Structure 1
Amino acid sequence: MREIAVLSKVQGAIARPSTVKAARGLSHFGEHSAGWFAAGLIGAAVDKPRRREWLIASFGVVGAHAASIAVKRVVRRPRPDDPSVKVLVDTPSKLSFPSSHATSTTAAAVLYSGLTGRNLVPALVPPMLASRLVLGVHYPTDVLAGAALGGLVGGLIRRKLKRR
């Protein structure tokens, strides 16, 4: 399978102890979208004039995560399982497509960009997507599909927030 070869090459190229440690940190932060949800709640606490928008965005991140779980249960693609790929972190399920970490991270980046006035996507999304490959828990198409789903959900909610 071509994706296994890509995944194996990514791990071989960048899976060093420091990279794996950082990837695990991102994995724990993004688990069940909890870190991104907490970041949104902090935004709501700090930016009182836009508290409602921050709360909507925070729940939008959780909604994007839930959408990814629903798609996972329909598609039922198993996680990578090949001797050339090392799985370097535990996962809450055996399902791979789409990456929920990629989905919630992209949704958070899109939504929080609108609230901070800074484009957070380039700073937040690529590291999370790469981390899922470094850890050997997703195929490249899993993270790309997750990013697309998160971008779609985040974009739709952001558009509604702008209209307010």
Structure 2
Amino acid sequence: MAAEPTTTTPGASSAAEREFIPGTEEPMPEVTTETLVLRKVQGALAKPPVVKAARAMSLFGEHAAGWLAIGAVGALVDRKRRGEWVAAAAGVAFAHGASIGVKRVVRRSRPGDPQVKVLVGTPSKLSFPSSHATSTTTAAVLYGGLLGKRLTPALVPPMMVSRMVLGVHYPSDVLAGSALGGAVALGVRRFTRRRRNRG
């Protein structure tokens, strides 16, 4: 009697064929397009001088502290527009808080691919969206408006890339963070203009 043919689902793998993270029983994470992009970014850019700069940017942007400090300095120096600087700094703080709120809802884990090196510590394991990209975009738009300079092209892309160089965010994390930061900045601008027109 002939044996019955075995059917397999395309793309399925048996337990014996699965790859596990070395030293653990955790299965290897799925290699997505974003993971491949992250590998390429690190492979091309994660050289010692770039990593050093990226770590400095990470420290500056942690909890939006650097951007809030700049807002405070602006409020102290530019007395005529102190209220606008305070509103801008508040917008940066709100943007950071909003990104944390979204992270807690989405709960996406940070990159776990064994070929992606994590080159900096993070306050949480949540990845989406990037709080650094969020607060940096808000600060660039609002502070740039107050200074009469286009800061966004100079500040936002480097911060976004730095988060991938350090291996702590996927491309969609930094893109979503920047979009959120831009939306908050536009909202703060509208609020400030309405308040100025009323006053």
Report TM bin, short chain.
Answer: over 0.9
Query: Which residue of 1 is the match for residue 112 of structure 2?
Result: 81
- Structure 1 spans left out of the alignment, 5+ residues: none
1:77 to partner: Cα distance:
0.1
Query: Which residue of 1 is the match for residue 53 of structure 2?
Result: 22
- How far, CA to CA, are the matches of 1:59 and 1:124 in structure 2? 19
Structure with higher Rg: it is: 2
1:84 to partner: Cα distance:
1.1
Aligned residue type for 2:188: I
Partner SS state of residue 62, structure 2: helix
- RMSD value over aligned CA atoms? 0.6
1:53 counterpart (84, 87, 99): 84
1:90 to partner: Cα distance:
0.3
Tell me whether 4-13 or 153-162 shows the greater mean CA deviation. Answer: 153-162
- Structure 2 spans left out of the alignment, 5+ residues: 1-31
Runs of 4+ in structure 1 off by over 2 angstroms are none
1:155 to partner: Cα distance:
1.1
Query: Which residue of 2 is the match for residue 151 of structure 1?
Result: 182
Alignment of 1:111-122 (within 5 A): 111-122=142-153
1:160 to partner: Cα distance:
2.0
Deviation sequence 1:70-97 (CA, Å, 0-9, x none) = 0000000000001110000000000000
Identity of aligned residues (%): 68
1:112 to partner: Cα distance:
0.6
State whether structure 2 residue 171 is matched by structure 1 residue 135: no
1:64 counterpart (95, 98, 108): 95
Query: Which residue of 2 is the match for residue 42 of structure 1?
Result: 73
Higher RCO (CA-CA < 8 Å; seq separation 6+): 1
Aligned residue type for 1:68: S
1:113 to partner: Cα distance:
1.3
**Which structure has the highest helix share of the two?**
1
Deviation sequence 1:86-143 (CA, Å, 0-9, x none) = 0000000000000000000000011111111111100110110010000000000000
Aligned residue type for 2:111: P
1:159 to partner: Cα distance:
2.1
How many pairs are equivalent? Answer: 164
- How far, CA to CA, are the matches of 1:119 and 1:76 in structure 2? 33
2:128 counterpart (97, 101, 105): 97
- How far, CA to CA, are the matches of 1:37 and 1:21 in structure 2? 22
Aligned residue type for 2:79: K
